[in-house]
A and B are shown apart, each in its own frame.
Chain A
Amino acid sequence: MEKQTQQPIDVASLWFEWQRNLWENWITATVKGTESAQSMWQGRAALDMLTAWQQTWSKSLPAVFLGKEPPDGLGATVYKRLLDASNVYTNLLAFWARSSMLFAQLTPGTTPTTEKLKEIYDEWVKEYETAMSSLWGAYFPRDAEETVKAYQSATSASAESAWIFMEPLLRNLERLPAILTKIAKGDPGASIELTGLWRKNYELTLGKALRAPSMGSFREFAEKVNQTADAYVHYNVALAQYFGLFYQSAMGAAEKVFQRLSELKTQEVTPETLRESYRTWWTINEDVFNQMFRSEEFTRLLGETLRQGLLFKKQLDDLSDEITKFTNLPTKQDMDEIYRTIYELRKEVRWQRRAVRDLERRLGTVGAKAESGNKVSRTSIRRSKRE
């Protein structure tokens, strides 16, 4: 059992007091300022400030308390998730506050024009997209955003991302990533540079012994590189389509949220209604996304994205093995052979042990029977002697 460690921080309470005072002053000042400003847009500006403040505060919080070397362990991990969630939460609150201001343009008891409704809805959708982006930024894979961008950009941009991604695997050949990036960008001279690097490595390792014809091997290596880039592009395409579906669903949920919140437009804004709007938002989204996850389109895209991702990884592994061959490190294939051998040996030992125990047991039973048989024989002999 692991021990629980918990150390109190005295500075937290001081910080807390200071923050509370700061907030109270800030709120008073803001409210007083907005009292004189009846325009909605001035209110929005105050909200923007508030949101920005919140974001800055939550970003600076770890820096103040965690220092350069943030604590590790379960608590630190969970606290990070807590910070992310609270950021999304406050962004959503700000969004809802902005929504309230938009809905306030609809005078109760009057029918707004279609144009006015459309204007409000378009504005609201913009706000919604901004709020949702904070959610995606916090919880979707960081490179997903890059991936969508890469998909929208030229192929060379995708390839460039690919090489950045591959860099850790190619670290043993320092210059290689840079050269590969150049190739991906279509620099004809880079291929020659790569050939030179490959040849240098080759000469230092296998080449000395084998003196294999160089051009043929270059072609194979270049082909592997090209195949890896190609697989990455395909992966990007699948990933972008996959996340495209998320975007569609989010917008579908937005319409439902809009309808629900516009029903609440006449209610007074209180902390409870703010929180209620948050609950409305996430439960509607959960339902919409659950429907999406069950759809055939999603399962097809999920399968395809996973397949393309795996094919890309396979190409990357092959390329990595190709490069590793020039070093004295074992390749993935080498390691797989070792794992297989160990597995088979362990299995063999397991069955042999069973066989030995089974044999021991049988021998024990036979021995016991023989012993019992001897007793019977001795008794019979004694009986016959008495008779």
Chain B
Amino acid sequence: MSDNVIEVMAKESARVQQKLLKGLQNVLQVKDVETGATPKETVYQEDKVKLYHYRPAGKSIVPVPLLVVYALVNRQYMMDLQQDRSLFRKLLEAGIDLYVIDWGYPSKMDKYLTMEDYILGYLDNIVNFVRERTGNDKINVMGVCQGGTFAFIYSALLPQKVRNLVLMVAPIDFDTRDGLLNVWSKVMDADLMVDVMGNIPGEFMNLGFLWLKPFQLILDKYVGLLDNIDDPDVVQNFLRMEKWIFDSPDQAGETIRKFVKDLYQENKLIKGELILGGRRVDPRKITMPILNIYGEQDHLVPPHCSCCVEKVVGSKDVTTKAFPLGHIGMYVSSRSQNDIAPTVSRWLTAKSAVAPEAGKAIRPQRIVSRTRPQTAGKGTTRGTKQKSRRRATAFEASPSEE
């Protein structure tokens, strides 16, 4: 038997070596890969936060723009990874006027940034900018993952600015043992972590994510790549995903302190006990239509964290959709392209066509192009038509509003 074993073993080893040699050309020499496949322009910037505008591709434009609020963890280009795997592209093809926030990479200087700064500062400024730019009193907001939690909180505090809310794999109820992150976060001394580390390094966060499925994510994934290393397309896709997975910005210390303590550990959001900027976040004040979508096999944000939305908000118009997908699959799988994107765009189109109070149809929106980003606090270069609109409506929140 031993000779047979050795022969088989030797052949398999030889196969691995051949594949590794092939990888020298297909993998090793690749300096970088393209991500963020869809053309966009930066239309607003404040500190390290940027706002991108994507031009809709459809003939009929949905009159209310959509603002995508991604998580602070990892990067928003996951939703626009490549031409044939782009949720953004699908939304644009459906005529959605798309704005996407890029939170940037916080440095040590940003360690004091709070959740209040992110939600009532940057996010609110961006919402105001989009409202002003497009001439809409209210805009559509889609919060993704942790960005969904932010969008949820924002919609509770400033519901008058949100027309429709889409929540995608958004953790709202943190009290579960279904997800390891929920379990581990309970024992973490968030105060000590932030006091000592300042910002929480992206590598530290990544290690936690990898250990959710260590053998699959650290070993088998690469062994699997060996099988397909001859296929340049597979390799390119793999590299794009690798880039995204390890492209983890550090987390601003004060923000993650509050996120872990108030949400993961004390679950204050769903209880209506979360305080932000001196104001209580009451989910019952979320009265706009909501589309809540989550993955049934999500190991980062387990279904329990997302499926409760209907029970806690004040809105009577909540549509909940569960998909048989994991967390990442929600953004990049073929199902994401074929099912999720159409679900979101159809829902937004339907909900944006009717005026919020009067039930009247709104005139389709003309998209105003900008060539240079507006910096926060500087004057805009809008057309006359928009200026007159701006004067007619008090758009922006005053400091006292917060």
Contacts and interface: CB of A to CB of B under 8 A. Distances in A.
Interface of A: 1-9, 12, 15-16, 19-20, 23, 26-27, 30-31, 34-35, 37-38, 40, 42-44, 46-47, 50, 53-54, 57-58, 61, 65-66, 71-79, 81-86, 88-90, 93-94, 97, 100-101, 104, 135, 139, 268-271, 274-275, 278, 282-283, 285-286, 289-290, 293-294, 299-300, 302-303, 306-307, 310-311, 313-314, 317, 335-336, 339-340, 342-344, 346-347, 349-351, 353-355, 357-358, 361-362, 364-365, 368
A89 B223 contact: yes
B365 interface: no
Contact of B112 (A5, A78, A79, A340): A340
Contact of A12 (B24, B180, B192, B397): B24
B278 interface: no
A339 B109 contact: yes
Nearest to B236: A4
A365 B394 contact: yes
Contacts of A38: 2
Contact of A368 (B15, B216, B391, B397): B391
Contacts of A65: 24, 28
Given A6-B29, A19-B17, A354 B397 contact: yes
B242 interface: yes
B13 A43 contact: no
Interface in B92-119: 108-113, 117
Given A286-B216, A355-B398, A4 B32 contact: yes
A310 B197 contact: yes
A303 B8 contact: no
Contact of B184 (A86, A101, A286, A299): A299
Given A5-B30, A342-B109, A343-B113, 6 more contacts: A16-B18, A34-B6, A40-B2, A53-B13, A85-B223, A289-B215
A47 B9 contact: yes
27 contacts: A1-B36, A4-B33, A43-B5, A65-B24, A71-B28, A71-B31, A74-B242, A76-B28, A78-B242, A82-B20, A88-B219, A89-B226, A97-B6, A135-B219, A278-B223, A293-B212, A299-B183, A303-B189, A307-B189, A310-B192, A317-B196, A350-B46, A353-B376, A354-B125, A354-B396, A358-B397, A364-B391
A43 B9 CA distance: 12
Interface in B183-209: 183-184, 186-189, 192-193, 195-198
A282 B215 contact: yes
A101 B222 contact: no
Contacts of A89: 16, 219, 223, 226
Contacts of B34: 1-4
Nearest to A88: B219
Contact of A282 (B6, B109, B189, B220): B220
A97 B5 contact: yes
A364 B110 CA distance: 35
A308 B391 CA distance: 58
A46 B1 CA distance: 13
Contacts of B321: none
Contact of A100 (B5, B21, B108, B376): B5
Interface string B24-54: 1101111111111000000000110000000
Name B's interface SS: helix
Nearest to B213: A286
Interface of B: 1-25, 27-36, 46-47, 108-113, 117, 121, 125, 177, 180, 183-184, 186-189, 192-193, 195-198, 211-216, 218-223, 225-226, 236, 238-239, 242-243, 246, 376-377, 390-392, 394-399
Given A6-B29, A286-B215, A311-B192, A339 B391 contact: no
A269 B32 contact: no
A227 to B, nearest CB: 15
Q: Report the 10 A-B pairs with minimum CB-CB distance, sorted nearest first.
A: A43-B2, A303-B187, A75-B30, A85-B222, A353-B377, A73-B31, A343-B112, A5-B31, A34-B3, A358-B398
A346 B47 CA distance: 9
Given A1-B34, A73-B31, A347 B121 contact: yes
Contacts of A73: 30-32
Nearest to B113: A343
Contacts of B25: 6, 8-9, 12
A128 to B, nearest CB: 15
Contacts of A282: 215-216, 219-220
Contact of B9 (A75, A94, A303): A94
A4 B30 contact: yes
A4 B117 CA distance: 36
A313 B236 CA distance: 39
B370 to A, nearest CB: 18
Nearest to A293: B180
A269 B1 contact: yes
Contacts of A40: 2
Contacts of B220: 282
Contacts of A34: 2-3, 6
Contact of A350 (B12, B15, B121, B186): B121
Contacts of B399: 351, 354-355, 358
Nearest to A11: B24
Given A90-B16, A310-B189, A358-B398, A31 B109 contact: no
A271 B11 contact: yes
Contact of A81 (B17, B109, B112, B222): B222
A85 B3 CA distance: 26
B32 A2 contact: yes
B216 A357 contact: no
B255 to A, nearest CB: 12
B180 A294 contact: yes
Contacts of A340: 112
B77 to A, nearest CB: 10
